[in-house]
Amino acid sequence: MASTIDLEIAQKTPLALIEAIAAKLGIPEGALFRYGHTKAKIDLNWLKNQPPRKNAKLILVTAISPTAAGEGKTTTTIGLGDALTRIGKKTVIALREPSLGPCFGIKGGATGGGYAQVGPMEDINLHFTGDFHAITAAHNLLAALLDNHMHWGNALGVDVRKINLRRAMDMNDRSLRQTIVGLGGNGVVHEDGFDITVASEVMAIFCLANDATDLKARLDKMVVAQKTKGGVVTAADLKATGAMAALLKDALNPNLVQSLEGTPALIHGGPFANIAHGCNSVIATKAALQLGDYVVTEAGFGADLGAEKFLNIKCRQAGLKPDAAVVVATIRALKLHGGVSKKDLGTENMDAVKRGLGNLQRHVENMKAFGLPVVVAINHFSSDTAAENKVIEDACAVMNVPVHLCKHWGEGGRGAASLAETVVKLAESGTSAFKSLYEDASSLSDKIKTIAQKIYRAKDVVIEEKTAKKLARFEKDGYGKLSVCIAKTQYSFSADPALMGAPVDFTFPIRDVRLSAGAGFVVALAGDIMTMPGLPREPAAEKIGVGADGKIFGLF
């Protein structure tokens, strides 16, 4: 989580004109759609004609399970990108766009921190280039067309009891989780609800599509409801795809911005990793690989969520092969996993670090299980001690994994120079032997069990009877080869946020599943996870405003 200091640094650090950033990547001014002076979209038509760079390296940044202490995964991604630039590598950073929900809720902004930030920070964290609004509009247009179809006679035979599609809004609003629409004679009455936009299938499709043609093909496949006489109703059946694609046309062009040190950054798409697949767009990642020699990207939350989905869903669908993985941790977070209260994190406690190391070790083991060379990055805080750092260094030596103390928050790219050198060594060693965790041919329930047991270390998986029947129906309808996207708490390997550290021998409960045929996966909801978050008791929105000088305050 960032602070007011991050906002002050961002507002005081001048950014280069976006044309100058584009020139670093060989992008001509004619291929830019400018949104002010410091952000632009890159013309997809221009990108289509650019060949991939030979031997471009893809680096995945992930982290331990998140805590209230913060881990700094985005900050480390940006710091590493700047450090690679400093040592002479043509580098592109690839990140997700922040959701408005967390900005006004509890998390605050998501553009890095200190001197390892991307900008313009306020724009990126708020409306940016309007991509999320376009995605929300496209999703809700489909919902409106479905309701309108039923109102005018329901020629497709939609079963109003079995409507899959929910509406979307990019804001935390728990009161919209369950709704009833059509009251007062305004259409067919049926149960409905809202998901936050970042958990919508349109967001997932947007982020997994290779181009506009693929986007439309995926939108066509969206299953919105069941028919009363059997079979499914799709977006194609409702003749919705053309209008949805028109709303998404401009948004599909990836966004170009920069770090505070001038490293180019593509920020595009933004699914959450706890309730969605948690990766930036395939279009942006592939564009970055066309334009740079090194691409540094991140996947949301801990490696059990974002990284697992990056590797099993995004890489599988897009044909990507990462060259190395960085696992980010902080001493403060490890202490929390070791049982220390938040108020005592500033006190040296080697025993607590040792107790919390199980979480880091499991994430490292999981990344190795995918065949990736791994390096650990310790995101430095001023309260850290040399003795505490030594505990982590010793543990990483046992795991045969390099570890680096990184000070990019206070020093920018210079503070992550040693990490960059090791990343280059790993990426160019050719030791990556990336492999997915499961085969397409495995059953949906087996895929869920594989992730729960091999990544989370669950003893058993319990799938509710009604949920098992839905999985069986998905397979009968031809969707058995899809990937699975498990939605669960980000705070634990288990479905219980209170089980921190590295729990074992727990039961992993699956309460429901949702078909995202266009995205190419089935969402499995575990425990009490909600696809529409709520605001905290004291929302961050209460402290956000605009000063007399026109500058935004309180965003962090």
pLDDT at 137: 98
Residues 101 and 236 in one domain: no
Region 242-263: what's the mean pLDDT? Answer: 98
Catalytic-residue membership of 46: no
- Considering the domain architecture, whether residues 178 and 224 belong to the same structural domain is answered as yes
- Please report whether residue 475 resides in a domain: yes
Nearest in space to 493 (alpha carbons), one of 268, 210, 364, 304? 304
Q: Which of 39, 89, 90, 96 is catalytic?
A: 96
Using an 8 Å Cβ cutoff, are 297 and 94 in contact? yes
Cα 313 to Cα 336: distance, rounded to the nearest angstrom: 30
Q: Is the pLDDT of residue 181 over 90?
A: yes
Per the residue annotation, which of 107, 218, 309, 335 is the catalytic one?
Answer: 107
- Tell me the CA distances in angstroms from 298 to 207, 376, 507, one per residue in order: 14, 14, 29
Which of the following is catalytic: 132, 194, 206, 301?
301
Q: Could you tell me what percent of the chain has a pLDDT over 90?
A: 91
* Pair (26, 146) in one structural domain: no
DSSP letter at 535? -
* Active-site choice (128, 272, 370, 381): 381
Q: What is the pLDDT of residue 1?
A: 46
| 415 inside domain | yes
385 labelled catalytic: no
What is the domain-level CATH number for residue 153? 3.30.1510.10
What is the span of the domain harbouring residue 290?
Answer: 4-129+251-427
- Distance, CA of 511 to CA of 508 (rounded, Å): 10
**pLDDT per residue over 16-43, tens digit each?**
999 999 999 999 999 999 999 999 999 9
pLDDT of residue 10: 78
Question: Are both 108 and 158 inside the same structural domain?
Answer: no
For residue 120, whether the previous peptide bond is cis, meaning omega lies within 30 degrees of 0, is yes
Closest CA to 264 of 85, 13, 21: 21
Q: Which of 221, 240, 259 is the last residue of a domain?
A: 240
| Known catalytic membership, residue 409 | yes
Nearest Cα neighbor of 526 from 481, 475, 498, 485 is: 485
Selected catalytic residue, list 74, 75, 111, 263: 75
pLDDT for 279 equals 97
Q: Tell me what pLDDT residue 52 has.
A: 81
Examine the fold and report which residue of 427, 455, 476 is the final residue of a domain before the chain moves on: 427
Distance CA 484, CA 519 (A): 11
DSSP 8-class letter at 415? G
DSSP string, 188-206: --EEE-EEEGGGSHHHHHH
- Does residue 291 form part of some domain? yes
The pLDDT, as a whole number, for residue 105 is 87
Q: How many domains does the chain have?
A: 3
Whether residues 268 and 225 fall in one domain: no
Active-site choice (40, 273, 325, 540): 273
CA distance 323 to 302: 19
pLDDT value for 264: 98
Half-sphere exposure of 423 (CA within 13 A, CB side): 35
| Contact assessment for residue 295 and residue 404, using Cβ atoms and an 8 Å cutoff | no
75 a catalytic residue: yes
Q: 72 and 416 in contact (C-beta within 8 Å)?
A: no
Residue 271 has pLDDT above 50, yes or no: yes
> Cα(24)–Cα(482) distance, rounded to whole angstroms?
39
Residue 4 has pLDDT above 90, yes or no: no
pLDDT band at 300 (very low <50, low <70, confident <90, very high): very high
Which of 409, 474, 506, 508 is catalytic? The answer is 409
DSSP string, 274-323: TTS--B--HHHHHHHHHH-SEEEEEBSSSIIIIIHHIIIIIHHHHT---S
Residues 405 and 317 placed together within one structural domain of the fold = yes
Question: Is residue 548 one of the residues assigned to a domain?
Answer: no
Average pLDDT over every residue of 390-416: 97
Domain-located, residue 555 = no
**Torsions phi, psi of 30, nearest 5?**
-70, -15
Q: Which among 57, 73, 89, 449 is annotated as catalytic?
A: 73
As a whole number of angstroms, the distance between CA 139 and CA 518 comes to 13
Does 106 share its domain with 183? Answer: no
- Please give the backbone phi and psi of residue 274, each rounded to the nearest 5 degrees, phi first: -85, -35
What is the rounded CA–CA span in Å between residue 189 and residue 181? Answer: 6
Reply yes or no on whether the pLDDT at 7 is more than 90: no
234 and 86, same structural domain?
Answer: no
381 is catalytic: yes
Of 178-187, 241-250, 545-554, the least confident? 545-554
Tell me: pLDDT of 107 over 70.
Answer: no
| Residue 362 annotated in active site | no
Mean pLDDT of the chain: 95
Q: Is 114 left (phi over 0), alpha (psi -120 to 50) or beta?
A: left
- Classify 528 as helix, strand or coil: coil
Site of tokens 């584009």: 22
Mean pLDDT score, 86-90? 98
**What does the pLDDT average to over 100-114?**
84
pTM: 0.95
Same structural domain for residues 404 and 272? yes
Check residue 512 and give its pLDDT: 97
Cα(121)–Cα(291) distance, integer angstroms: 23
Lowest mean pLDDT among 444-453, 462-471, 532-541: 532-541
pLDDT of residue 13: 86
Neighbouring residues of 273: CB distance < 8 A, sequence distance ≥ 6: 279, 299, 300, 301, 305, 306, 309, 490
Residue 59 has pLDDT above 90, yes or no: yes
Span 397-424, average pLDDT:
97
- Count CB-CB contacts under 10 A for residue 113: 30
**Residue 556 scores a pLDDT above 80:** no
Specify the 3-state DSSP secondary structure of 91. Answer: strand
338 lies in the same domain as 474:
no
CATH number at residue 479: 3.10.410.10
Domain boundary among 427, 456, 487: 427
537 in a domain, yes or no?
A: no
Q: Tell me whether residue 436 is in a domain.
A: no
With 60 as the cut, is the pLDDT of residue 64 above it?
yes
Q: Does any domain span residue 543?
A: no
How far apart CA 196 and CA 167 sit, in angstroms, is 9
Q: Residue 266: which CATH number?
A: 3.40.50.300
Strand-by-strand arrangement of the 521-526 sheet:
460-463, 507-516, 521-526, 483-487
Judge contact between 316 and 49, C-beta under 8 A.
no
Query: Which backbone phi and psi does 111 adopt, to 5 degrees?
Result: -120, 25
Q: What angle do CA 113, 116, 121 make, to 5 degrees?
A: 60
- Shared domain for 398 and 261, answered yes or no, is yes
Q: What is the pLDDT of residues 474-520, one digit of tens each?
A: 999 999 999 999 999 999 999 999 999 999 999 999 999 999 999 99
Q: Indicate whether 329 and 378 sit together in one domain.
A: yes
- Amino acid letter at 274? N
